Structure 1
């Protein structure tokens, strides 16, 4: 072979090697980035080429797949979309996925490796498994009661089964229909744009993604901390709380909302029943910042990864503040902020003898044929209180309902414990107060753990009496009645 031929052959081999190297780089090292490039429509076409798995409440699917005549063979459909939007989220051809539609997306579209029989054969044959199903922990009656109770008001409800952490209701109003923009047509785009510009923010998940000052509902945490730390040993005994109580380091007294609180030495029991700011603020300071912060964190505050599997916004209790700020934080004001989910965990932890369970929104994951892929099990989040202290806090909460500000939550034939809250906010507290109520309930005479704990916040209402007892307690009552079967 001539020198020229050898050179030509060598050059061709180098070209082949370069092409192989480039193909390897593209197909192996850049495959993921190219697959997920927004300009690559292949994955989206494949995603909607077949029906999507369903999200279930009980044994009933609340989602579906709708055949189309467009580029994508199917789009997502929803039955009672606004009722469950805070749980399902949306799956849109144009705008992606959220909530359970997002966290369980691989299972729902059939790419989760747990759905296949033999992963190697599935990869070689390019076989696509049918989408799996997600069974939620929701109680449909409780969810309906929550949405009906909130009505046209801006607000949210979170209800939990205390012994397991199973979420029974998760509601946010105003809501939206996730099916209205599930496709990729101009009508879907118009629906999306309307929702994005709506001043009432219907797509904001107020149960999980919005935090509010919890107001006097946080006094349950303060009472628990004071009892656990031994600052109060007998809830019925007089305390050393002065009146007026001047915020430490200031000349500003911590005022109460009722004259029933305006005397020194109030017991913790009387202070909780009448919701006395001065007493609980004083006890929070006596308990101390470290103990108060630790108790708040036992119930889910300051946890940035409280996944269930959806990740809620972080509820906050400051760990650096002076005593005046601690007094305000101890009555749920200053910078203290909570999601309804975390305040439901407060009520649930007290109801469960002081053990806080990790919140759980998914019951099980299954294949399309019903075979279980994963069965969720209850898990302890924190042991916040001893059973003895939890029992003392339970008694404080039942007194609030029986003879205090929470009377609108009473249920015939049931024992109900609760705490009202009316949280101030805005510049110089100029905003319409947030009306809160947290509670638990069980059948009268039962020694079992209460089957339901709930938190309700009404964030905006045109009612004349904007208070937790007037606005939020009746909603909590209807949700708890639904769970109790009453």
Structure 2
């Protein structure tokens, strides 16, 4: 009898072990598959069962959470939604998350293990904590100036702090209200359909997700490459550049909008944006050095994140001399996001160093305790410091007496470069108006802001379109807003 009891006890022990093993398998190893199962509503209910953390600008939230009292209890709300949409993105019960709402979803939704004082255990237990906050690098005044400057127009603005890489403004127009996509009702479906049918693509983040031909603003890169390579040694020496310039190996003649470009010194060619001079300089520098300089500024980098991804700006490395000439004046296959061109201006302002741009200063738990900070940002040398000094001189000349006078700010030193980029079949599209710039207050030790502006629908009259006329005033307003803003506490 005792033997049968032992056998029964052993069998029961085996069943208990099997039960524990199976429970462990399900709860630890197969839990993700159950969590992701479309039939499992518990995760979704839990996700919207508590308020979401907020995204902050200058210490104030630009997001919120509304208690609907429904099964999926909390819906996302946005303050000045269209103005901040290129930064926040949307958090929708129906369509998921984008931009910062997506990149920082773990913190905002309360699932990031770092929100727990017992991070290791939280990663195993998958507990949900009160949503944390995301503190951005944005300056409210700069964001407002950029948004108001683009009102009623199509385009984008990106502004960064040259010495750190902090993104100070990021605006795309036309925009949309992310609140319209927050819930899961019929109105959300209608809004989604309407936004996606809109030919102006308001959901598209033009500041970081659309690339444009940069036109003459790319001459900043070409001039830096020519100076670094020793192709030009003195800004005031003649460049031996014909006008018109016949593209190498072709019968195609390149001309200028301005007069006096034949053999123009680099200083004057930059000031009046002579295509012939810079096309020839690009050919003299050569494709390898041009590509290397463009890469140092940030072109051809497919991995840039701020923390959400940024479209790759490109400089074609497999071109013949004629194509290289066009690439060197921001045409052919050269493409750039407004953020990339702000990085170009920032490199000049920062002594030739490019700081990786970033949008999140820190993340915090409920109550304000810091979870993570941006930390020091990597940098790379885009040009020699001596070249950067000469580039600053030339950009200041553009604003003082060249094509960028509309960017001048009393009581400040401003450098800039205009651009008018043609596009479309046979260049038939309305040209894009560009302006890239940086500014330093007279009492500042270093430039405080670098800006890039692109306006797609610049003017009704094609002949009146210009970066100086259409984009420079917007850049000026953004730069003034930053220079007048009080210094950010704690950096």
TM range (shorter): over 0.9
Whole-Å Cα distance in 2 between the matches of residues 120 and 477 of structure 1? 49
Q: 1:188 to 1:233 in 2, by over 3 A?
A: same
Whole-Å Cα distance in 1 between the matches of residues 168 and 336 of structure 2? 19
**After superposition, where does 1:233-244 map in structure 2 within 5 Å?**
233-244=233-244
Whole-Å Cα distance in 1 between the matches of residues 124 and 212 of structure 2? 52
* 1:4 aligned residue: none
* 2:308 aligned residue: 310
* 2:50 aligned residue: 50
Look up the SS of the partner of 2:371 in the other structure: strand
**After superposition, where does 1:335-374 map in structure 2 within 5 Å?**
335-374=333-372
Q: 1:42 to 1:411 in 2, by over 3 A?
A: same
* 2:428 aligned residue: 430
* 2:321 aligned residue: 323
* Unmatched runs of 5 consecutive residues or more in structure 2: 2-6, 486-491
Query: What do the CA deviations read for 1:215-270 (whole angstroms, capped 9, x no partner)?
Result: 00000000000001110011111112233311111011111112232x2x211111
* 1:457 aligned residue: 454
**After superposition, where does 1:162-311 map in structure 2 within 5 Å?**
162-261=162-261, 263=262, 265-311=263-309
* 2:97 aligned residue: 97
Is the 2:433–2:458 Cα contact (8 Å) retained in structure 1? no
TM-score scaled by length of structure 1:
0.94
**After superposition, where does 1:62-81 map in structure 2 within 5 Å?**
62-81=62-81
Is the 2:209–2:310 Cα contact (8 Å) retained in structure 1? yes
Q: Which moved more, 1:235-244 or 1:322-331?
A: 235-244
Q: 1:197 to 1:18 in 2, by over 3 A?
A: farther
* 2:116 aligned residue: 116
* 1:158 aligned residue: 158
What is the RMSD of the two structures over their aligned residues, measured on CA atoms? Answer: 2.4
Whole-Å Cα distance in 1 between the matches of residues 482 and 179 of structure 2? 28
Whole-Å Cα distance in 1 between the matches of residues 39 and 153 of structure 2? 41
Q: 1:229 to 1:23 in 2, by over 3 A?
A: same
Q: Which moved more, 1:206-215 or 1:14-23?
A: 14-23
* Unmatched runs of 5 consecutive residues or more in structure 1: 2-6
Equivalent residue pairs, number: 481
Whole-Å Cα distance in 2 between the matches of residues 121 and 394 of structure 1? 53
Whole-Å Cα distance in 2 between the matches of residues 124 and 197 of structure 1? 43
* 1:40 aligned residue: 40
2:442 is the alignment partner of 1:405: no
What stretches of structure 1 move > 6 A for 4+ residues in a row?
Answer: 7-22, 123-126
**Structure 1 residue 39: Cα displacement:** 4.1
**Structure 1 residue 459: Cα displacement:** 1.3
**Structure 1 residue 123: Cα displacement:** 6.9
**Structure 1 residue 13: Cα displacement:** 9.9
Is the 2:406–2:476 Cα contact (8 Å) retained in structure 1? yes
Is the 1:355–1:380 Cα contact (8 Å) retained in structure 2? no
Query: What do the CA deviations read for 1:188-224 (whole angstroms, capped 9, x no partner)?
Result: 2111111111111110000010000000000000000
Whole-Å Cα distance in 2 between the matches of residues 138 and 109 of structure 1? 22
Q: 1:400 to 1:68 in 2, by over 3 A?
A: same
Look up the SS of the partner of 1:460 in the other structure: coil
Is the 1:358–1:378 Cα contact (8 Å) retained in structure 2? no
Q: Which moved more, 1:163-172 or 1:123-132?
A: 123-132
Q: 1:125 to 1:26 in 2, by over 3 A?
A: closer
Whole-Å Cα distance in 2 between the matches of residues 79 and 429 of structure 1? 40
Query: What do the CA deviations read for 1:247-302 (whole angstroms, capped 9, x no partner)?
Result: 111011111112232x2x21111111110000000001101111111111111110
**Structure 1 residue 475: Cα displacement:** 0.5
Look up the SS of the partner of 2:87 in the other structure: helix
Whole-Å Cα distance in 2 between the matches of residues 124 and 324 of structure 1? 59
Q: Which moved more, 1:138-147 or 1:125-134?
A: 125-134
Is the 1:318–1:336 Cα contact (8 Å) retained in structure 2? yes
**Structure 1 residue 19: Cα displacement:** 7.3
